[in-house]
Amino acid sequence: MSTSPIQDEQGHPIAIRVRGLINQFGEKVVHKDLDLDVREGEIIGVIGPSGCGKSVLLRSIVGLITPKKADIEVFGVNLNETDRAGRRDIEQGWGVMFQDGALFSTLSVRENVMAPMREHLEDMPVSLMRELADMKISMVGLEPDAAGKRPSSLSGGMRKRAALARSIALDPRLLFLDEPTAGLDPISAGNFDTLLRGLADALNLTVFLVTHDLDSLGAVCDRVAVLNRGKVLAVGTLAEVRANPDPWIQDYFSGKRGRAALG
């Protein structure tokens, strides 16, 4: 995947560009002419009220939902104008971690991490896949004996790490994470945030992070995008977004939970 030639108004290279996104399910309009730029190398946190379409936006970009209308580019490649082979190449350059991890329950952790390799790297020897999978498992802080375990025998935090290992199995440049700290205790969530920030910096990842976790916004995100009423209401640094006068944004950050998490 070539480096994106697209830049935003400030001259930052763009990893993801969404223009005119419309998603509608029956009478419910989720997105209406939504625009968003995600810069290369940043962790952007996508927030908004429940039901505003955060996960739908993620799934629209990765192709799990077909929007009614959209112009979506990833690293300069227009997904609407890409054939099946080109789309496959692009998909190999991103990793996705779904809500609750979405690990295959009948497979071991190692086999889960190997799954993307089996799909996209068919000519790779299985022995090398196993070696690479074990390396990814180590990178996310799991002990070696976790590789042979089934997801059901892992704690919630360990399952999240295993899902993260699978998402980086193909050495992607781009990660999509959907509520990765949901359901974790504060310590485990904080450890996951630290892990994510370290991996993003070490691997030069661009991260699209859907979250409700106020602590994650302050701990790992370079910028924040606020979705509501079908559009992106605001995007910028945490300080810039918190200064936005929109009533929902002010309620979100100025409420008791917001003040406690962000000081």
Model pTM score: 0.91
Say which DSSP state 3 is in.
P
Assess if residue 157 is contained within a domain: yes
Determine the structural domain holding residue 118 and report its residue range. Answer: 102-163
Report how many domains make up the chain: 1
**Single-letter residue type at 65:** I
Backbone dihedral angles phi then psi of residue 38, each to the nearest 5 degrees: -115, 125
Judge contact between 7 and 39, C-beta under 8 A: no
Number of H helices and E strands in the chain, helices first, is 10, 10
Assess if residue 82 is contained within a domain: no
Please say if the pLDDT value at position 27 is more than 60: yes
Judge contact between 48 and 231, C-beta under 8 A: no
110-124 mean pLDDT: 93
Assess if residue 107 is contained within a domain: yes
Give residue 103's pLDDT: 92
Assess if residue 39 is contained within a domain: no
Give the whole-angstrom CA distance, residue 255 versus residue 31: 26
Assess if residue 95 is contained within a domain: no
Give residue 1's pLDDT: 47
Assess if residue 52 is contained within a domain: no
Assess if residue 86 is contained within a domain: no
Give the whole-angstrom CA distance, residue 111 versus residue 109: 5
Please say if the pLDDT value at position 102 is more than 90: no
Q: Tens of pLDDT along 207-251?
A: 999 999 999 999 999 999 999 999 999 999 999 999 999 999 999
Give residue 263's pLDDT: 60
Res. 122 pLDDT band, cuts 50 70 90: confident
Judge contact between 115 and 166, C-beta under 8 A: yes
Assess if residue 169 is contained within a domain: no
